[in-house]
Structure 1
Amino acid sequence: MAGQDQVHAVLPEIQPMLATAAALPGEGYDLDWGFEVNWDGARTVAYCAGDRTVRLVSGEGEDVTRTYPELAGLGEQHGQRQAVLDGEIVVLDDRGRPDLELLRRRMGVVNPRKVARLTMDAPVHLMLFDVMYLDGRSLLPTPYRERRMLLESLDLAGPRWSTPEWSEGDVQHAWATSLHHGYEGIVGKRLASDYQPGRRSPDWIKAKHIETHDVVIGGWVEGRGDLRGLPGSLLVGVDAPDGLRFVGTVEDGLTAAERGELGEYLGALTRADSPFAGFADIPGAQWVEPRLVAEVTVSGWTTGGRLRHPTWQRLRPDLTRR
């Protein structure tokens, strides 16, 4: 193990570069950009030490190698070459789309027996999209287009890792393709841009496919800290043949004023039991009569029927239920 640590030590520790949420370049302005799928997973840097091992580090800097043992073969395939690779860990559904709900079952698990079971129930896949260091050479100042070509030349493809395709210059095609396949969105990267560790840069921009839905508020959970006494998250559902079906929690997008206003409304609608059909209890949940309707934006639905990345937009008093 000491020898292995020494090998790992020669590789530079590199924080992942981050994308900025912004409008994509329009047609005619996209020729200087490359486009990739926005994978909606767990950002991961893979350190291939040149001794047929790989060390995986999360975007937050935590070693997650033991959590994803099915990715060990990446080090075997890379052999004696040294590299620091950038990518995203996902769990794919039966249609080949990332499912964040399934991925969350894997995140943070280190117990060997539980990990072994989860590798069978929800195996992960590492999508590789950049290389920042290769065989003793830092590629941080190298333009993105050249880095991407170097990555493809490594021919890294295995049962649980791959180098997905990317495209140059045609933003409309990239957008339409990601929408057709049900992906979250796309990331645009300036072809001439260098790699900027730890920085959220305008040289990388991301855009999501957004849907708007009306949901019914059936409960809430008190917030923490400054939000104590106010709704920290809203428990929402949609109408289904068997009753109100729970579809997730909404936390993002609410202003302090909106939380205060909702707190007053929901306080007048308190009930003792859950209004959701066949739904298990949530710790700290305060149930309400399902009368208030809200508009939220989401990036789609999980295979489990939950909202993906719901964001509050507004209350819909015109749709209040009686």
Structure 2
Amino acid sequence: MLATPGTLPPTAQDDRWAYETKQDGQRVLVYLPGDGSVLLRARSGEDITAAYPELRPLGPLLGSTPAILDGEVLALDEQGRADFQLLQSRMGLAHAPARAARRAAQVPVHLVLFDVPHLGQPLLAHPYARRRTRLEELGLDGPHWSTPAAVVGHGAEALRASREHGLEGVVCKRLDSRYTPGVRSRAWIKIRNLRSEDVIVGGWLPGKGRLSGLPGAVLVGQRAGGRLRYVGGVGTGWSEAERAELAALLRAAETGVCPFDPAPRVLGAHWVLPRLVGEVSYSTRTRAGLLRQPSWLRLRPDLTPEESSAGLPDPPGQAG
């Protein structure tokens, strides 16, 4: 079952909804046949059990009761927050169990459980509130898995707390909703905390197909320590008119010298003089300081490059 992007339910309906933390990890269904084994499947249906050997001890925990659990595999940073970049070093190792075991010792994962569509019998038709109670009664809290509590009502407070703690957002789930596999349902609403910052355009990548001759993405940076540090490529957020306007501005500013220090390894990049300022939204930063899921908001002709990022702290790593 998938969530639909949206906003908080109306205040008058707040007590009809539960609120869970939106996790930044890999969605999995955990199959426990009741014979002591465990099978993990990704959203694609791929068997990814071998990628996460530390989750195998889940197999015998429910005895002979067959179950299907829904959850998210996370890799946690030093502050205990989900770090998708860390998790990427564990993903894709389902066909390399020896490598997966070595990585598990270096970057252990944690499975967050939030639903149980099957427990001895199908629970798909049961309301979320009942399924959630059944899940919590299982007491599945261990060294590499847990069942965090959901908050009923208080949606605005839950969303505000997720922002204050630097979390990705919240998922709102209607208490009376059925579990509908494969459906992006309005009964589950996801709200992502987006941040916005000013950036300096230092280059662009040509578009393809109908965007031929226009920028497919702009390469942006922010000033730190007297240098223009590359923070990523932005390829969404423009109207056709805005993209055409940006193309003219980029052509007028073209240069043969990369303005970023250090220079990013971006094939096919066209460099420009770093004088255009824009505002972008994004979800989080990677450990290297790159923007995740950036989207263009607007040009900022009211700002000079010096004004756009005054006082920006040095990113935690180097891009390249």
Contact 1:235-1:248 at 8 Å conserved across structures: yes
Q: 1:271 to 1:124 in 2, by over 3 A?
A: farther
Q: CA deviation at 1:143?
A: 0.2
Alpha-carbon distance in 2 for matches of 1:303, 1:148: 34
Alignment equivalent of 1:112, drawn from 78, 94, 97: 97
**Mapping of 1:275-314 within 5 angstroms?**
275-314=259-298
**Mapping of 1:253-272 within 5 angstroms?**
253-272=237-256
Q: Where does structure 2 lack aligned partners over 5 or more consecutive residues?
A: 307-320
Name the residue aligned to 1:211.
195
Identity rate of aligned residues, in percent? 48
AA at the equivalent of 1:116: A
Alignment equivalent of 1:238, drawn from 218, 222, 243: 222
Contact 1:89-1:126 at 8 Å conserved across structures: yes
TM-score (norm 2): 0.87
Alpha-carbon distance in 2 for matches of 1:237, 1:271: 16
Contact 1:189-1:205 at 8 Å conserved across structures: yes
Q: CA deviation at 1:153?
A: 1.1
User: SS at 2:280's partner residue?
Assistant: strand
Name the residue aligned to 1:12.
none
Alpha-carbon distance in 2 for matches of 1:230, 1:111: 41
Alpha-carbon distance in 2 for matches of 1:62, 1:214: 40
AA at the equivalent of 1:123: P
User: SS at 1:114's partner residue?
Assistant: helix
Q: CA deviation at 1:132?
A: 0.5
Contact 2:228-2:260 at 8 Å conserved across structures: yes
Alpha-carbon distance in 2 for matches of 1:47, 1:252: 37
Q: CA deviation at 1:268?
A: 2.9
Alpha-carbon distance in 2 for matches of 1:242, 1:65: 47
Alignment equivalent of 1:123, drawn from 88, 105, 108: 108
AA at the equivalent of 1:98: A
User: SS at 1:106's partner residue?
Assistant: coil
Q: 1:229 to 1:56 in 2, by over 3 A?
A: farther
AA at the equivalent of 2:31: Y
Alpha-carbon distance in 1 for matches of 2:104, 2:270: 36
User: SS at 2:78's partner residue?
Assistant: coil
**Mapping of 1:1-322 within 5 angstroms?**
17-109=1-93, 110-135=95-120, 137-321=121-305
TM-score (norm 1): 0.87
Contact 1:129-1:151 at 8 Å conserved across structures: yes
Q: CA deviation at 1:320?
A: 4.6
Q: CA deviation at 1:304?
A: 3.0
Alpha-carbon distance in 2 for matches of 1:76, 1:271: 63
Alpha-carbon distance in 1 for matches of 2:210, 2:58: 45
Q: 1:252 to 1:158 in 2, by over 3 A?
A: farther
Q: CA deviation at 1:113?
A: 4.2
AA at the equivalent of 1:254: W
Moved more, 114-123 or 209-218: 114-123
Alpha-carbon distance in 2 for matches of 1:205, 1:257: 32
AA at the equivalent of 2:125: P
User: SS at 2:61's partner residue?
Assistant: helix
Contact 1:274-1:281 at 8 Å conserved across structures: no
Q: 1:233 to 1:158 in 2, by over 3 A?
A: farther
Name the residue aligned to 1:6.
none
